[in-house]
Amino acid sequence: MAKKNIAFYPGCSSQRKSSAANYLVSVQSMCDKLDIAMNEIPDWNCCGASIGYAEGGELPRVAITARNFALAEKHLPGQDVVSTCAACWLANRETQERLEASPHLRAETNEALGAAGLSYQGNTKARHMVEVLIEDIGYEGLKAPVVKSLEGIKFAGYVGCQTNRPFGIAGESFENPQYLDKMVELAGGEAVPYDQKVTCCGGALAFSEPEKSQKQIRDIVESAYDHGADMIVTPCPLCQANVEVYQSEINKKQGTQFNMPVLYYSQLLTVAYGGTAAEAGLDGQIIRASRLEEIAGK
């Protein structure tokens, strides 16, 4: 029996072979080390993400998220619904909040779920993986399995938006959250001061409004360089993808020479816990984190 059981909600980007596949791989490795059993919610569906609004409207988005809760309640009773993706977590929490606040909406939602023979009871709790780590395992507990130090590597902790606002991780500030820095430090790395911690990367508008988004991304990467960082670390798959993937685009268009690896906290911890580069999903980096690979290879 694992120390902790969670109803895991990977979300579309963190499925196998999806854009945040390396997140999934590293989270799995990290959870193995921490003895957290990730029980995937059977037949889960997309959360709708924020960008689903235009066509989706309110009730359809609430309903599809409620479907995931209904499935978790049915198949994994008593377990927290844990997401690794910021947007998934946000959609889950917002949906839960609204269903709690409005009996009317809840009735309508259940009417919709009834079409598939499901119902939402409201007895699970939506959480983020980071919350599980900080609140259930604790920084001391996270430090305990560390066998390799990330000494000498400087990280800019980039939290982004939706892991931070409007809910955020309990006890953290909106403007200057500290938990990524703490994770970096417990893994032996150095967290540099960083003033773009909570800047928006453009989110889904990276697709639709690339120019506008890439200006955001440029600020985020540039500031990491300015503060002497070797790598950026983040908890959000969309942040990771946007900030990593578009560096070459920005270089091409604006003549910059960005080449800053962007990693997940779970990758850092996996390496610090003695995991291999593959276990840490480091092969999933477009901009390779060679120094981390070196440590993992030792």
Does residue number 232 form part of the binding site for other proteins (CB under 8 A)?
Answer: no
Does residue number 239 form part of the binding site for other proteins (CB under 8 A)?
Answer: no
User: What count of Cα atoms within 13 Å lies in the side-chain half-sphere of residue 201?
Assistant: 28
Does residue number 228 form part of the binding site for other proteins (CB under 8 A)?
Answer: no
* Minimum gap (Å) between residue 47 Cβ and other proteins: 9
Of 253-282, binders to other proteins (CB under 8 A) are none
Alpha helices in 122-191 (DSSP H): 129-131, 138-143, 179-186
Find the binder of other proteins among 45, 178, 256, 276 (CB under 8 A): 45
- Spatial distance between the Cα atoms of 188 and 241, rounded to a whole number of angstroms: 25
Alpha helices in 195-287 (DSSP H): 205-208, 210-226, 237-245, 247-254, 265-272
Please classify residue 297 by burial: count the beta carbons closer than 10 Å to its beta carbon, then call 0-12 exposed, 13-18 middle and 19+ buried: exposed
Nearest to other proteins of 142, 223 (CB atom) = 223
Find the binder of other proteins among 21, 134, 231, 250 (CB under 8 A): 21
* Minimum gap (Å) between residue 31 Cβ and other proteins: 20
Nearest to other proteins of 149, 176 (CB atom) = 176
Determine how β-strand 262-264 pairs with β-strand 231-234. parallel
* Minimum gap (Å) between residue 273 Cβ and other proteins: 22
Of 122-181, binders to other proteins (CB under 8 A) are 161-162, 164-166, 173-176
As given in the structure block, the two tokens for residue 76 are 């994994």
Does residue number 100 form part of the binding site for other proteins (CB under 8 A)?
Answer: no
H or E element, residue 100: helix 86-101
Nearest to other proteins of 17, 298 (CB atom) = 17
Nearest to other proteins of 59, 146 (CB atom) = 59
Nearest to other proteins of 5, 178 (CB atom) = 178
Residue among 239, 234, 143, 253 nearest 200 (CA): 239
Does residue number 76 form part of the binding site for other proteins (CB under 8 A)?
Answer: no
As given in the structure block, the two tokens for residue 33 are 């080390």
